[in-house]
Amino acid sequence: MIDGAKIDEYLREVIAKGDKGSNLLAGICGPTLRNPRYVQVVREGMNGIAVLAGLPKDYRVVVHSAGGDPQISNPEIYAKSLVHNLVRGAEEIGAMPIAFTNVIDAGKIDLGEIETIGKALAESANRHNLAIMNGELAGLGDRVTGYANVSGTMVSLVHCNRGVPNEAYGVRYATFNHEGRLVFMNSDGVGTKIEITAERGGKPGLSLSDSIAMKVDDAIKWGAEVKVVSDVVETRGVGSGMIKELDGIASVLGDSLGFEYILQQERVGTRIRGYKEGIPTLNISGTAVSLIDEKTLKDLPKPSAGEFLVAIRGKPNPRSNGITDKRRIMVELFGPNWHETS
């Protein structure tokens, strides 16, 4: 039997506040789009899209990710540390940072805290003449021990004559040729589904597939060609063996899908928790960086009368959305160790 009251609570507390939070962040961070000269809004309104356009032909795009300093508890200073880390990562390899995305994984959607973080990000972006191109706000409940964890992905430019390492100073990098096309960035993450796949199921690699799917299925709605997916892997108590395993899986996934997939580990310690104490814990989120043709954007496919929708059914596998209620129901029905029941 469907519990209407709980559905209403979910809509009110998660979706409604999440929408308000996203709108609040958009209002705070939107003005930063004026900072670099390369930002262009190619579609306006609620379904608008901002891209990087007119990038110099003799420069390549560099992508890397980072998290805020996990030792900082003050939300404002913590958010600013993310931008500092992103800028430093670009400058250390001689790249020119121009724009970034952010992911805010919150324990609960608190508009006051979101405003504090948003203003800190925008202030730092203005200081460095950067645009905040996109972002993601997610409520992860008790998997986040403080208010929120913040990570981000930077797009920078480097001259074609300059080499870029795959890794330097503990930071992973990926590069590609922009081909004179528009550069688009969109962010998302696995959310609390990682508890089921990685912690209870013992298959952390499945979470990488989930993470890619969450970002790529948004990118293709714009006719985008994904060039790089860069994820931040927040860890607590995770050994080097698991990280090496994830790196290998990411490389295979990227090769099979036709883009580069890089992971940036951030040891966040007690900022995240698993379903029980003492187990290795992960949180994965990041950004897809894509190329789009302006002509394609102006003439995106639209459904028309007489056309058909074809659905291809595979093995049951929920998206990385709405998992919090699924986790709660399993515990209520089968106990805290439900994955060990027949």
pLDDT band at 19 (very low <50, low <70, confident <90, very high): confident
Who contacts 301 (Cβ-Cβ below 8 Å, separation ≥6)?
A: none
Give per-residue pLDDT as tens, 69-111.
Answer: 999 999 999 999 999 999 999 999 999 999 999 999 999 888 9
- Token pair, residue 338, equals 């439900």
Confidence of residue 9 (pLDDT cuts 50, 70, 90): low
φ/ψ (deg, to 5) at 267 = -80, 100
Question: Residue 13: pLDDT above 70?
Answer: no
Do 176 and 60 meet the contact criterion of CB atoms below 8 Å apart? Answer: yes
Cβ-proximal residues to 9 (8 Å cutoff; 6+ apart), any chain? none
The residues that bridge with 167 in the sheet, in sequence order, are: 172
Please report the pLDDT score of residue 10 as a whole number. 47
Let me know: does 338 contact 330? Beta carbons within 8 Å.
Answer: yes
High-pLDDT (> 90) share of the chain, % = 74
- Residue 122 pLDDT more than 90? yes
What pLDDT sits at residue 2?
41
- The packing angle between helices 75-91 and 111-127, to 10°, is 30
Question: How far is Cα 50 from Cα 204, in angstroms, rounded to an integer?
Answer: 33
Dig out the tokens for 28 from the structure.
Answer: 């705070």
Label residue 133 by pLDDT band (50, 70, 90).
Answer: very high
Burial 214-236 (b: 16+ CB within 10 A, else e): bbbebbeebbbbbbbbbbbbbbb
Pick the CATH number of 4-298+313-340 from 3.40.47.10, 1.25.40.80, 3.30.1330.10, 3.20.190.10: 3.30.1330.10
Helix (H) or strand (E) holding 120: helix 111-127
H helix count then E strand count, the chain: 9, 13
Write the pLDDT tens digit of every residue in 273-302: 999 999 999 999 999 999 999 888 878 878
* 305, 299 contact by CB (below 8 A): no
Residue-level length of the chain: 342
The pLDDT value given to residue 313: 85
Mean pLDDT of the chain, nearest integer: 90
Structure tokens at 157: 């430019």
pTM comes to: 0.90
Q: Are 191 and 210 in contact (CB under 8 A)?
A: no
Condensed to tens digits (0 to 9), the pLDDT of residues 171-223 reads: 999 999 999 999 999 999 999 999 999 999 999 999 999 999 999 999 998 99
